[in-house]
Each structure stands twice: as structure tokens, then as C-alpha cells.
Amino acid sequence: MEIGLIILAIMLATLLGWLLKQSFNTQPWVAEAVEESAYQAPFNARPKLVALVTFLAVVSSFFALILSAYALRMELGDWIPMTEPRLLWANTVILILASAAFQWTRNQAVRGDAARIRSGLLVTGALTIAFLVGQVVAWRQLYAAGQTLTLNPSNAFFYLLTAVHGLHILGGMYVWLRATARAFGGREADAVKQSVELCTIYWHFLLLVWLVLFGFMLAT
């Protein structure tokens, strides 16, 4: 459970530290006139961003707990390490490219270049779909090689981790679809920019998760 605990501790410490900073040295019982500056939003952020960051915390907890279970299960006697298919390296590169493409699109969105936003979104979508297809192909290769889900717990964890990671990407694709629709539907630049920015964060996050998962599986 150490992994889960460490990640959780980091998240909680961030939140608690921030809360404590807000609450030390205040005397709440003192009534005061409202100074505009004093009541800026925390993080100076927007609600969708706050919700996204909170959601990423939930997802981090989810993956951290699976990895904790992985680490605990690994110590038991029947564990046989699985050799990850080579294809995963290619998939990883594709996912990095997708993330980079999203970053590029975001930069275009900040500049307000509508045409480039659209092509950026298309490229990102194509790369992400390529990643998902690549993952499915990797599964098929494994199955063809007799590395089935129930053969060994290390296999089970491999399929479980790639599956839930893929599902999170699929969920991201739904939001990507909406952002793309917005970009092509000629919606105002601000709305498009916001969706693209949030998607970019999510893509970077899922890339990070994938790198951690992949690294963890390679190391074991």
C-alpha cells in the first residue's frame, strides 16, 4: 500500500497545506468590510479547471491503488514476470506525439489561430486513436502468443492496467470530440480555447500515468 499512501499523502499534503495557509493567523470572528483583493478565487482559477484537477486527483488515487495492489501481489509466490510486447514502445512514442500535438494545438489556441487549431485537433485525435489501436494489437499479439489474462497474475495486472488506462483515454476522446465539434462549428474562440486547454492537461496527465504504468511494468 506504500505507493497508494505516498501519492495520497502528496495530494492530501498539498490540499491541507493550502487550507492551513488560509486559516492560520486569521481571526474569523472579526467582521470586516469586503476588500475585493482579499477574496480572489483560490488558485485564481476557473471552475472547470478546478473540477478537472480534482478529477485528476481521483484518477491518481485510482491508479496508485491498483499499483499498490500490483506491488503487494507481486510478492506472493506464484508471480511470473510477463515480457511486455515490443509494440508498447511504439505505442508510447505515439502517445508522446499525441501529447505534444495537443500542446502545439493549445499554443495555437492561445494565439487564436482557428485553422491551425482544427488541424491540430485532427492530428491529436488520429494519434490517440492510433495509440488505442496499437494497444488492442498488443493484446492480440499477447493472446496469439498464449499470454492470456488468467495465465498469471502479472498478465492479469497487465490487461487490467492497460484496459483502465485505455478507458480513461476513451473518456478523453469524448471530450476531444466535443472540443473538435466546437472548433469546427465555429464557436467563439474563448470556448474553444478553454476546451483545448483542459484537454491538453488531461492528455499530459494520461501520458504521465502511462509512463508510470509502463515503467512500473518494465521494471518488474
Partner 1 sequence: MGYVAIADRDHEEEHHDPDTFITKYIWSQDHKVIAIQYGITAIFVGVIALILSAMMRLQLGFPDTFSFITPENYYQFVTMHGMIMVIYLLTALFLGGFGNYLIPLMCGSRDMVFPYMNMLSFWVYLLSVIILLASFFVPGGSTGAGWTLYPPQAIMQGTPGTDWGILLMLASLGVFIIAFTMGGLNYVTTVLQARCKGMTLMRMPLSVWGIFIATVLGLLAFPALLVSAIMMLLDKTVMTSFFMPAISSMGQVPENYTGGSPILFQHLFWFFGHPEVYIVALPAFGIVSDLLSTHARKNIFGYRMMVWAIIAIGGLSFIVWAHHMYVSGMNPYFGFFFATTTLIIAVPTALKVYNWVLTLWEGNIHLRVPMLFAIGFIFTFIHGGLTGLFLGNVTIDLPLSDTYFVVAHFHMVMGVSPVLVVFGAIYHWWPKITGRMYNETLGKWHFWMTFLGTYAIYLPMHYLGFQGVPRRYFAMGDTDFMPASAQDLNAWITIFALFVAFTQILFFVNVFISLKSGKKADPNPWKATTLEWQTPDTPPKHGNWGHELPVCYRWAYDYSVPGYPDDFIPQNVPPEEAPAGRQHGVAEH
Partner 2 sequence: MPLAVVLILLVVGSLIFHVLSPWTFTELASNWSMVDFTIDITFWVTGAVFVAVNLFMAYCVVKFRYKKDARATYEPENKKLETWLTVLTSVGVAAMLTPGLFVWAKFVDVPEEAHVVEAVGQQWHWTYRYPGEDGKFGEVDAERISNDNPFGMDPDDPNGQDDVLVYHPEAHIPVDKPVKWLLRSKDVLHNFTVTEFRVKMDLVPGMQTFQWLTPTKTGRYEVLCEELCGIAHFAMRGAVIVDEQEDYDAWLASQPTYAELNARPGGNAAAGAANYAVCTACHGQQGEGLAPLNAPKIAGQDAWYLRNALNSYKAGIRGSSSDDTYGQQMAPMAATLVNDAAVENVIAYIGTFPDAPAPHTVDGDATNGKRSYRLCAYCHGDDGMGIQALNAPRLAGMTDWYIERQLTLFRDGVRGAHPTDFYGFQMSFMAQSLRDEQAVKDLVAYINTL
Q: Which of 122, 130, 160, 189 binds partner 1 (CB under 8 A)?
A: 160
Q: Which listed residue (29, 36, 37, 146) binds partner 2 by CB under 8 A?
A: 29
Interaction pattern, residues 36-65, with partner 1; x per rule: CB under 8 A: --xxxxxxxxxx--xx--xx-xxx-xx--x
Q: Which residues contact 56 (CB under 8 A, 6 or more apart)?
A: 201, 202, 205
Contact by Cβ (8 Å): 123, 189: no
Q: Which range binds partner 2 by CB under 8 A, 12-20, 25-33, 35-43, 96-104?
A: 25-33
CB-based contact 153:79 (threshold 8 Å): yes
The answer to whether residue 175 forms part of the interface with partner 1 (CB under 8 A) is no
Q: Which residues of 97-133 are buried (b: 16+ CB within 10 A; e: fewer)?
A: bbbbbbebbbebbeeeeeeebbebbebbbebbebbbe
Neighbouring CB atoms inside 10 A of 161's CB total 20
| Phi (first) and psi of residue 148, to 5 degrees | -85, 170
Q: Binds 42, which of partner 2, partner 1, none (CB < 5 to 8 A, cut-off by type)?
A: partner 1
Size of site (CB under 8 A) for partner 2: 3
Contact flag: residue 186 with partner 1 (CB under 8 A) = no
Give the binding site for partner 1 (CB under 8 A).
Answer: 1, 4-5, 8-9, 11-12, 15-16, 19-20, 22-23, 26-34, 38-47, 50-51, 54-55, 57-59, 61-62, 65-66, 68-69, 72-73, 76-79, 149-150, 153, 156, 160, 164
